[in-house]
Amino acid sequence: MHHFNYVDGRLHCEGVPLEDIAREVGTPTYVYSTATLERHYKVLSEAFDGSKYLIAYSVKACGNIGVVSTLAKLGAGADVVSGGELAKALHAGIPAEKIVFSGVGKTRAELTAALEAGIHQFNVESFPEMERLNEIAMSLGKKAPIAFRVNPHVDAGGHANISTGGAEHKFGIAWHEAGEMYAQAAAMEGINPVGVDVHIGSQIMDVEPMRIAFEKVVTLVRELREQGINIQRMDLGGGLGIPYSPKDNPDSPAKYAQMIREVKQGIDVQLILEPGRMIAGNAGVMLANVEYVKERDGRTFVILDSGMNDLARPALYDATHEINLLNEPAADASLKPVDIVGPVCETTDRFEEARPMPPLKQDDKIAFMSAGAYGAVLSSQYNARPLAAEVIVNGDSYSVVRPRPSYEDIIALENQPSWIE
């Protein structure tokens, strides 16, 4: 469910025609919908009403401060994977007590910053990381609340590049080593083992593989408690998929929540969830302008002013996005297969091949739908192309939450070496 719809033939985000944003802010531009973000957050939080839970929004899906502060206002926590995301989450108004820190490669500086901030939980992914965290915590006179991220050896399906729960993946500690690792953690002065964490991948369409992983977590929590380790939290990660096209039929957030309630029955823990895509994915679109329509060798190339540097998912994950014209085409418009490409000098700068599209001409504006998650965050200034602007809509108004940098802004980030006059 989202709030991007045609009204009188013009594609709107809530009450704002996207054409207005394209005209006033330019393209390429990401546009997020407050009502959609709120709706997704509420669907999940209402499903857990009455139990102890923390929804720690995965900042890496869409870290714009406009988006994160919107979720902070609803009471969301944050799952961060770097010191930069920690700083942004705190700045956006997420209290440290609602922040969990994930990731396999946390540096000393990142661990120190998170300890000093007093975050809710470190999701530790290896023994050396725990030793490092222990040392830093002791030197600061603190005790770090941790969960081990366990690798449940479950294949959840989905694209190979976003699966994380198999033995061949770098994530987490081995399932069979968990008992021993927790025992060692409990003996460390700077470590307080409080939870068990799992995250098996992203864009998972079916909740059943998750159920298998989560049941393993419940079993582990029970075993650890018997071992005398007081586990109080179960962090079930993120990963629920969203529809990118009408053909996609992911299990609903309600079904996901129901499955979790079933798995968690009879065990008193704080539940932590780390949804990213499910919150932000369908809450954002990317606007682009058609620069040229080029016919060659029997093909039609629609060349946009946005490229793989702005929206990397097609180049990175073979992903496709629904594409809507900002001006609704006639219902009987004939569709013709075209290649939708960007201006970047790379062959992979291609959004889709032979996509059936209604007639398109220079300066038509289009929207890549479902671009809110892993969209703007993955963008770069490759080819010295300014980062896309970002806008958030709320009802009839909108706010530019990341202006497009000027060439001067881009150049100001760099210097000539001191020896060149």
Ligand X SMILES: *Cc1c(COP(=O)(O)O)cnc(C)c1O
Report in angstroms how near the CB of residue 10 gets to ligand X at its nearest. 31
Are 45 and 75 a contacting pair, CB within 8 Å? yes
Count of residues touching ligand X (by CB under 6 A): 17
Could you tell me which stretch among 29-37, 236-244, 331-339, 354-362 binds ligand X (CB under 6 A)? Answer: 236-244
Report in angstroms how near the CB of residue 235 gets to ligand X at its nearest. 9
232 CB neighbour count, 10 Å cutoff: 15
Contacts of 228 (CB under 8 A, 6+ apart): 186
Give the active site residue among 331, 345, 413, 420.
Answer: 345
Contacts of 19 (CB under 8 A, 6+ apart): 10, 11, 326, 327, 365
Among 4, 44, 78, 79, binds ligand X (CB under 6 A): 79
**106 near ligand X (CB under 6 A):** no
Residue span 360-399 as binding mask against ligand X, x where in contact by CB under 6 A, dash where not: -------------x--------------------------
**274 near ligand X (CB under 6 A):** yes
Residue span 124-163 as binding mask against ligand X, x where in contact by CB under 6 A, dash where not: ----------------------------------------
Report in angstroms how near the CB of residue 302 gets to ligand X at its nearest. 29
Q: Is 345 a catalytic residue?
A: yes
Residue span 327-356 as binding mask against ligand X, x where in contact by CB under 6 A, dash where not: ------------------------------
Among 237, 250, 375, 386, binds ligand X (CB under 6 A): 237
**321 near ligand X (CB under 6 A):** no
Report in angstroms how near the CB of residue 166 gets to ligand X at its nearest. 15
Among 21, 61, 146, 196, binds ligand X (CB under 6 A): 61
How do beta strands 284-296 and 365-368 pair? antiparallel
How do beta strands 77-80 and 53-58 pair? parallel
Look up residue 139 and give its two tokens: 């030197």
Could you tell me which stretch among 137-145, 276-284, 304-312, 346-354 binds ligand X (CB under 6 A)? Answer: 276-284
**202 near ligand X (CB under 6 A):** yes
Report in angstroms how near the CB of residue 41 gets to ligand X at its nearest. 13
- Rule CB under 6 A: which residues touch ligand X? 58, 60-61, 79, 81, 102, 199, 202, 237-239, 274-278, 373
- The catalytic residue positions are 345
